Structure 1
Amino acid sequence: MSIPASEPGDAVSAGELSARYDKFVVDLLGGIAYGELSAFEHLSSDARYSPTLADRAVLGKMAVAEFGHFEMVCERLNGMGMDPELAMLPFQRIVDLFHERTRPADWHESLMKAYVVDAITEDFYAAIAENLDVATRSVIAQVRTSEEQTTLLAGLLKNMLDDDPRLSSRLALWGRRLVGEALSRAQYIGAKHSFLVGLRPDGTQEQAAADVHAILSVLTRNHSRRMNSLGLTA
């Protein structure tokens, strides 16, 4: 990100803008790192619901990828001179609470959770990354879920719904709960940690809140489209 040069009389100096941006990046990467570590733990745990060994391998492969993403983000934080654990700690409670409130009851719900949460996370990364510096943008690009994995999850869900149409109403309701919880947590984090303030020279709490709201609206629309493609009501 390029920081505009300060002019006499500027309300915010270039140094302050740089400090704002650095704080934003550390907060963002700290949140991503803990999210990836938590995803690794929960995907590994949820794999126990798998009806077949092949299905267990699907979630196992996803879990391994998430841990690799966690290590990449930690490497970036270390490169910035930041302690990854300190960067992650502010986000531990809110992410853990999300997983506590969205604990799947069976394989069907586990698969839906993996699909919904992965997709929302992808949309969030895409919305944020274009405003970041090259090095941080590169790290975020590397931690994004592969298109192959997303397609695989969607295919498994479609096959599952085709095999048992009675699942539709339950998984539609579960999907709504998942997206509601995810967006609620994202909004809370955005407000508490002043996300996006550091991305604008004239950044204010009010403008950041408006930007977060706009991003959440995009995430909601994209979620509805994905659910429709599965034949589910968002």
Structure 2
Amino acid sequence: MSSSPADTARYNRFVADLFGMMAYGELSAFERFSADARHSPTLHDRAVLGRIAVVEFRHYELVSSRLASMNIDAEDAMLPFQAAVDYFHSRTRPGDWFESLMKAYVIDTVSADFYRAISQYVDAATRELIEQIQDSEATTEVLRERLKGALADDPRLASRLALWGRRLLGEALTQAQRVSYEHAFLASLIGGEDNAAAKELVSGLISGLAGNHSRRMTQLGLTG
């Protein structure tokens, strides 16, 4: 059965919002990794994070190009999400290098989980771009191994980083809920006015993100 013009318009707004949020997320990640690289304890770490920053900027360019192909200005698409993302980062400023690593790891993995969950509801072309952007296992592995190395070198970091990881997750989940509701983000995806269905989708999504995070913290030897 074909979609109505209203349904098509609603879905297109959702995709534009999705790409706007992704674009600003990737641009912010580029800035964050660039800053962290400058404060790296070793030249090797600086090079590793610099390389990740380059990848993030390439992702930003991919999303911007897709927006351009939709005749949407990337800045216009990103602006509605700038305040919320910046607020999140202002509330989660790392205290040192190790907290920066944990923040990068948590944001990288939780964001990937979020977009992969969303991708099951979108068209094939949109799903392909999401998968291309979120295919970050190499980045995830680098951050994971660096965290494992830091914890092995100084086991006293475990309790502090476990607490920091829980705070980061809480802030990230709050952010996901806020964006979903303030921008009617997921409601636009599943049919517009069905608030109960939107809340159920958000609830299931948040639960899945929390569960995945907990398993990853356990793999690091931390309490998630």
Structure having the higher helix fraction is 2
Within a 5 Å distance, the mapping from 1:127-166 to structure 2 comes to 127-166=117-156
1:62 to partner: Cα distance: 1.1
In structure 1, what is the equivalent of residue 57 of structure 2? 67
In structure 1, what is the equivalent of residue 2 of structure 2? 5
The list of structure 1 runs, each at least 4 consecutive aligned residues, that deviate by more than 3 angstroms after superposition, is: none
1:121 to partner: Cα distance: 0.6
Alignment gaps of 5+ in structure 1: 7-13
Distance change (3 Å), C-alpha of 1:197 and 1:233: same
In structure 2, what is the equivalent of residue 98 of structure 1? 88
CA distance in 2, matches of 1:17, 1:225: 38
In structure 2, what is the equivalent of residue 11 of structure 1? none
1:203 to partner: Cα distance: 5.3
Deviations 1:75-132 (A, max 9, x none): 1111111111111000000000111111112110111111110000110111011211
Any conservation in 2 of the 1:124–1:219 contact (CA below 8 Å)? Answer: yes
Any conservation in 1 of the 2:67–2:73 contact (CA below 8 Å)? Answer: yes
In structure 2, what is the equivalent of residue 21 of structure 1? 11
In structure 2, what is the equivalent of residue 227 of structure 1? 217
**Partner AA of 2:2 in structure 1:** A
**Partner AA of 1:5 in structure 2:** S
Any conservation in 2 of the 1:47–1:56 contact (CA below 8 Å)? Answer: yes
Any conservation in 2 of the 1:41–1:63 contact (CA below 8 Å)? Answer: yes
CA distance in 2, matches of 1:70, 1:48: 21
Any conservation in 2 of the 1:29–1:77 contact (CA below 8 Å)? Answer: yes
Aligned residues: 224
Any conservation in 2 of the 1:190–1:209 contact (CA below 8 Å)? Answer: no
Within a 5 Å distance, the mapping from 1:134-213 to structure 2 comes to 134-201=124-191, 204-213=194-203
1:202 to partner: Cα distance: 7.0
1:159 to partner: Cα distance: 1.0
% identical equivalent positions: 56
Any conservation in 1 of the 2:10–2:192 contact (CA below 8 Å)? Answer: no
- Structure with greater contact order relative to length (CA < 8 Å, sep ≥ 6): 1
Find the structure with the greater CA-based Rg: 1
Deviations 1:36-69 (A, max 9, x none): 1011111111222211010111211111111111
**Partner AA of 1:81 in structure 2:** N
Any conservation in 1 of the 2:106–2:168 contact (CA below 8 Å)? Answer: yes
In structure 1, what is the equivalent of residue 102 of structure 2? 112
1:5 to partner: Cα distance: 2.6
Alignment gaps of 5+ in structure 2: none
Q: Is the deviation greater in 132-141 or in 115-124?
A: 132-141
Q: When the two structures are superposed, what TM-score results if normalisation uses the length of structure 1?
A: 0.92
Any conservation in 2 of the 1:44–1:59 contact (CA below 8 Å)? Answer: yes
**Partner AA of 1:108 in structure 2:** F
Secondary structure of the 2:11 match is: helix
Does 1:79 find its partner at 2:69? yes
Q: Is the deviation greater in 196-205 or in 147-156?
A: 196-205
Q: Is the deviation greater in 197-206 or in 111-120?
A: 197-206
CA distance in 1, matches of 2:192, 2:34: 43
In structure 2, what is the equivalent of residue 44 of structure 1? 34
**Partner AA of 2:66 in structure 1:** R
Q: CA RMSD in A?
A: 1.3
Any conservation in 2 of the 1:20–1:197 contact (CA below 8 Å)? Answer: no
Secondary structure of the 2:221 match is: coil
In structure 2, what is the equivalent of residue 10 of structure 1? none
